[in-house]
Amino acid sequence: MILKGYLFTYGYLIVILLLAFGLRKIFNLRTLFTKKFIHIMISFCYLILYKYFGSSIHIIIPPLSFIVINILSYKFKLFKSMEDGSGNLGTIYYPISVFIMALVTYFVPEFYGAFGVGLFCMAFGDGFAPLVAGYLKSRQIYNHKTVSGTATVFAFSLVIIIIFNYYFKFGFNVIDMILISVVSAALELFDRKGLDNLFLPLGVSLVVYLMEVI
């Protein structure tokens, strides 16, 4: 069971990186698209962790290894599909936030649902926001973030919390779920060199957990 978890996790990572490389070469896509493709798709590793590792110590190993891999990629430009040369550290903050949430889950198994909400809100919200914002031009709100991009984060976050609310039986009402989505959209505004990949998932997961237990 544990071995399968590792095989599926790293096998899936390799497939995603190869797909991103192939898409970049075949369709001559900009790094923004392949970077966001990886950003979104890698979040599904959560499902593998949940199924095969549960809240065992193994849950922290993949994100910890991804931190090392992404630091090396950032430093030596190993995976050009996710490195745009802008100096943005989002690819490093991403696995750091996942590691922190996984570590909390190891000590507090009840955090698993909140972990998933935080991760997927970051992956889909922050992943699609710049793509939608680039297509649907709108006025800027703050820190170069636009109305269309922020609305995208809110919309994806709302869908994600609805799904997790059903599966994990959080017991949230409509107002609760809208509030969490607003928090997610607000946290995405604070993007300094990719720091939203840290603030958004950690902030949302904390809010979800506190609202669940209080």
pLDDT above 80: residue 76? yes
In this prediction, residue 41 carries a pLDDT of 97
Decide if 126 contacts 88 (C-beta within 8 A). Answer: no
For the chain, give every domain's residue range. 2-213
**C-alpha span between 31 and 127 (Å, rounded):** 13
DSSP string, 56-110: SGGGGHHHHHHHHHHHHHHHHT--TTS--SS---HHHHHHHHHHHHHHHHHH-GG
Contacts of 167 (CB under 8 A, 6+ apart): 113
For the stretch 5-57, pLDDT in tens is 999 999 999 999 999 989 888 988 888 899 999 999 999 999 999 999 999 99
For the stretch 98-131, pLDDT in tens is 999 999 999 999 999 999 999 999 999 999 998 8
pLDDT above 80: residue 192? no
Q: What's the token pair of residue 109?
A: 């198994």
In this prediction, residue 157 carries a pLDDT of 98
Give how far Cα 204 sits from Cα of 58, 69, 182, Å.
23, 25, 10
Element (H, E) at 143: none
Judge if pTM exceeds 0.85.
Answer: yes
Across 178-200, average pLDDT:
91
For the stretch 141-180, pLDDT in tens is 877 788 999 999 999 999 999 999 999 999 999 999 999 9
In this prediction, residue 214 carries a pLDDT of 83
Q: What's the token pair of residue 154?
A: 């809110």
What does the CA dihedral 162, 164, 169, 172 come to, rounded to 10 degrees?
A: -40
Decide if 90 contacts 194 (C-beta within 8 A). Answer: yes
